[in-house]
């Protein structure tokens, strides 16, 4: 039997790793670290640093790095993601069979939290569906949304009003969600907010949240939209990758 711990590690700040995450990390017999290419080496370097700093017996814990399969960017997004998840599940199963043939505890360090726009849980379900006996443990982590509101020093919601969390793709396709006073947008390839009316919309934007290169911009869309687009492009060119998120509100409490 394999026990797979999906360990939320927050957004790039060692201080955001919880005591529960440290305990799960040290209970693991095998830790799998995904490599996402040279342009995103910061992500695996952080995971390596976590293992170096937090493992109490690093000599006895096996750490295995692997190349994460890439996703085909064809027109059918859901089909492409489905194929991608299947490929990742296959790699996970192969590594578990190779390094823990008699069972044991596997740790996966998940950026942010395993429940918020992360597919680790869905991939794990594929292992069970394929007949592999896997017991799942989820260790929650601090999310980029929490860090965004903390760094901007704002509440997530307007008083007694709902919040909707969505993606850049859906914001482009459907516009402002009905009945939401506040909208949090994740996984935006860049500038989905430009499809909205600028007149009454405020934005709190953040990139590389929790990391040394964190960048924050806030203001009315009519005033900061171009600034965010330009700054985002500059940061991506400088670092080779970018993770950003933003919160939008209609006529917010100021």
Q: Are residues 188 and 134 in the same domain?
A: no
Same-domain status, 228 and 188: yes
Neighbours of 148 (CB within 10 A): 25
Q: How far apart (Å, rounded) are the C-alpha atoms in residues 82 and 233? A: 29
Cα dihedral sign for 86, 90, 91, 96? positive
**Domain co-membership, 33 together with 91:** yes
24 shares its domain with 124: yes
What's the pLDDT at 74? 66
* Shared-domain flag, residues 106 and 149: no
Amino acid 215: pLDDT: 98
pLDDT at 75: 67
pLDDT at 146 over 80: yes
Same domain membership, residue 8 and residue 111:
yes
For residues 90 and 177, membership in a common domain is answered with no
Bridge partners (DSSP) listed for residue 185? 166, 246
Please, what is the average pLDDT of the chain?
91
Between 43 and 185, name the one with better pLDDT. Answer: 185
| pLDDT surpasses 70 at 179 | yes
Q: How far apart are CA 132 and CA 123, in angstroms?
A: 12
| Residue 254, pLDDT above cutoff 70 | no
Tell whether the model's pLDDT for residue 153 goes beyond 90. yes
Long-range contacts of 230-236 (CB under 8 A, 24+ apart): 231/207, 232/190, 232/191, 232/207, 233/190, 235/207, 235/208
Of the ranges 55-64, 71-80, 181-190, the best mean pLDDT one: 181-190
Shared domain for 201 and 148, answered yes or no, is yes
CATH number of 213's domain: 3.30.950.10
Q: What is the mean pLDDT of residues 240-244?
A: 93
What pLDDT is recorded for position 199? Answer: 82
CA-CA distance, 244 to 52, in Å (whole number)? 27
* Burial class of residue 237 (count of CB atoms within 10 Å of its CB; 0-12, 13-18, 19+): exposed
- Given a cut of 90, whether residue 137 has pLDDT beyond it is yes
Assess whether 10 and 99 both reside in one domain: yes
The model's pLDDT over 164-176, given as tens digits with 9 standing for 90+, comes to 999 999 999 999 9
DSSP notation for 201-233: EEEEEEESTTSTT-EEEEEEHHHHHHHHHHHHH
Q: Of 139, 172, 207, at which residue does a domain stop? A: 139
Q: What is the pLDDT of residues 93-135, one digit of tens each?
A: 999 999 999 999 999 999 999 999 999 999 999 988 777 889 9
Confidence band, pLDDT 50/70/90 cuts, at residue 253 = low
Q: How far apart are CA 57 and CA 49, in angstroms?
A: 14
- Do residue 58 and residue 161 come from a single domain? no
pLDDT over 90 percentage in the chain: 71
Which range of residues forms the domain containing residue 21?
A: 2-139
Residue at which a domain ends, from 139, 155, 181: 139
Percent of the chain with pLDDT over 70: 98
The answer, yes or no, to whether residue 221 has pLDDT greater than 70, is yes
Same domain, residue pair 132 and 215: no
Q: Closest Cα partner for 78 from 122, 108, 36?
A: 122
Q: How many domains does the chain have?
A: 2
Where does a domain end: 139, 156, 185?
139
> What does the pLDDT read at residue 19?
96
Q: What average pLDDT does this structure show over 46-55?
A: 92
69 and 164 both lie in a single domain = no
């Amino acid at each position: 039997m394999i026990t797979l711990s999906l360990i939320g590690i927050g957004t790039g700040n060692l201080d955001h790793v919880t005591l529960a995450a440290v305990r799960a990390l040290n209970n693991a017999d095998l830790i799998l670290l995904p490599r996402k290419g040279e342009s995103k080496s910061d992500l695996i370097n952080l995971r390596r640093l976590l293992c170096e700093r937090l493992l109490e017996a690093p000599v006895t814990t096996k750490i295995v790095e692997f190349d994460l399969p890439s996703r085909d960017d064809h027109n059918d997004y859901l089909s492409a993601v489905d194929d991608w998840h299947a490929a990742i599940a296959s790699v996970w199963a192969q590594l578990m069979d190779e390094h823990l043939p008699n069972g044991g505890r596997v740790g996966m360090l998940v950026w942010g939290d395993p429940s918020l726009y992360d597919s680790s849980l869905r991939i794990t379900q594929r292992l069970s569906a394929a007949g592999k006996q896997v017991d799942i443990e989820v260790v929650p982590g601090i999310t980029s949304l929490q860090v965004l509101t903390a760094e901007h020093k704002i509440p997530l919601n307007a008083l007694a009003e709902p919040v909707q969390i969505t993606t850049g793709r859906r914001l482009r396709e459907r516009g402002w969600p009905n009945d939401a006073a506040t909208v949090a947008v994740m996984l935006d390839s860049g500038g989905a907010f430009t499809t909205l009316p600028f007149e009454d919309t405020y934005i709190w934007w953040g990139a590389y949240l929790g990391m040394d290169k964190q960048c924050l911009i806030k203001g009315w869309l009519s005033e900061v939209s171009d600034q965010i687009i330009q700054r985002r492009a500059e940061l991506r060119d400088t670092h080779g990758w970018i993770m950003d998120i933003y919160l939008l509100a209609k006529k917010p409490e100021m």
